[in-house]
Amino acid sequence: MSINDFATKDPAAELNWEFNFSAELPALTTVTAINTTVPAGLTEELETPDLANARTVVRIAGGTHGQIYDVRAVATLSNGEDLVGTLTLRVFRGA
């Protein structure tokens, strides 16, 4: 199962992005871990996981004007399944 989102940010701005898996969480399962991958060119300033509520917030900085990056979060569930969230982030000066 996957969640896909799209956002735009200025290279000088920081963006707080929430990956929220609660709507996709199967009955009687919990999130045991969430791992976020931020690609080269961007910087992960802070990550605040909230496993009890099946979400994490990541603060993303940097990026090169005109580039597109995929930020990925994987929630591991108590039943062994993974939920994948992808943020396609377009960096645009003046966004």
pLDDT in tens, 40-63: 999 999 999 999 999 999 999 999
In a domain, 41, yes or no: yes
Q: What is the CATH number of the domain that holds 48?
A: 2.60.40
Could you tell me the strand order of the sheet in which 31-37 lies?
Answer: 2-9, 82-91, 68-77, 31-37
Write down the pLDDT at residue 2.
58
In a domain, 80, yes or no: yes
* Six token digits for residue 36: 């976020």
Domain count, the chain: 1
> In this predicted model, what pLDDT tens digit does every residue of 2-43 receive, in sequence order?
578 899 999 999 999 999 999 999 999 999 999 999 999 999
In a domain, 25, yes or no: yes
In a domain, 52, yes or no: yes
Which range of residues forms the domain containing residue 9? 2-88
In a domain, 7, yes or no: yes
